[in-house]
Amino acid sequence: MDQQTSILIIYTGGTIGMIKDQKSGVLKPFNFNNVYQHIPSLKLLDYKIDNFCFDPVIDSSDMNPLVWGEIAKVIKSNYEKYDGFVVLHGSDTMAHTASALSFMLENLNKPVILTGSQLPLGMIRSDGRENFVTAIEIAAAQEDETPIVPEVAIYFEDQLMRGNRTTKYNAEHFEAFRSPNFPALADVGVYIKYNRPIIRKPNFKNLKVHTTMDNNIAILKLFPGISSQVVNSVLNTEGLRAIVLETYGSGNATTELWFINALEKRIKQGLIVFNVSQCQGGSVNMAKYQTGIMLQDIGVIGGHDMTTEAATAKLMYLLGIYDQAEPVRKKLQVSLRGEMTVA
């Protein structure tokens, strides 16, 4: 007899896990021990479903690298017991968490599917039930006894997206996430249609979990008229090791000498400057225009088509491993978990 597929639900917090108290009418955390009572259709899947709930639950606005480490540890300690994992998470920082977990879980060979909802499970029109059930089905999906999606992904409103390619773009619609520079891993309708050629293949190596994330980074978003005082206050932050520079278009920035000189000075002192575009779609190409060439010449590193969420997570991950800047600079230019398209 075939062994029953087993899935671990990890509830961190967020809208999806809230249900209205029948007496007070106040939303309170859902008891996932009663999951079959609230979502009877789960019984039809015939999976062994267990849960791990953070106590207290964490609003996604309070998400941070320490909590990411705790999620990674839960997956590590249960890795051999379950076929897949579903992480229930608030939508506001879900793309950040998915990006971080993709780097923290090296040699991941099982699905880690993040999902959530815009409306609580306890509401009649909640998108949470479909997101929840389908995320479980995807986490359990196998072919020839091998997981179909052995990577960190986000499932939301009919689409499965690579976690480190995803960004939240809408706070009101059920279709809250997009993957602007990479196709969906699966489209969900009557059937789940997996885009198999682009899904990362398992390497069957042992899982290696990294929980040290160095958050001595900053995001500097350029805008017309940004002052030298603002730029220098960011660049000269005590303990700063790297910045994500959000530039215009395909990686362009002002060519005013005060700006270029300020960056060049700090780069020579060891600061890592990682260039990503403010545009959701498209890629950084610093060789395209003179403004980008000037950044390239002083040692700014191009982030290709990475999201800001993935760029910050990748920096924190690499800075947590390496004390010196040079190996970080080299690794930033390589796609480690499918987070960017390198021509």
Cα distances (angstroms) measured from residue 290 to each of 40, 42, 142, 143, 255:
60, 57, 49, 50, 9
160 phi and psi angles, rounded to 5 deg: -105, 125
Q: Which residues contact 321 (CB under 8 A, 6 or more apart)?
A: 210, 212
Residue among 205, 201, 207 nearest 81 (CA): 207
CA pair distance 36, 42, nearest whole angstrom: 6
Q: Which tokens belong to 267? A: 């780069």
What residues pair up with 277 in beta bridges, in sequence order? 247
Q: Which amino acid would we find at residue 158?
A: D
CA pair distance 233, 224, nearest whole angstrom: 17
Q: Which residues contact 151 (CB under 8 A, 6 or more apart)?
A: 102, 108, 111, 112, 162, 163, 185, 199, 200, 337, 338
Residue among 321, 306, 10 nearest 164 (CA): 306
Query: What is Dmax (Cα atoms) for the chain?
Result: 72
Tally the C-alpha atoms within 13 A of residue 341's C-alpha that lie toward its C-beta: 15
Catalytic residues: 15
Cα distances (angstroms) measured from residue 321 to each of 105, 192, 209, 214, 308:
14, 38, 12, 9, 20
Q: Which amino acid would we find at residue 283?
A: S
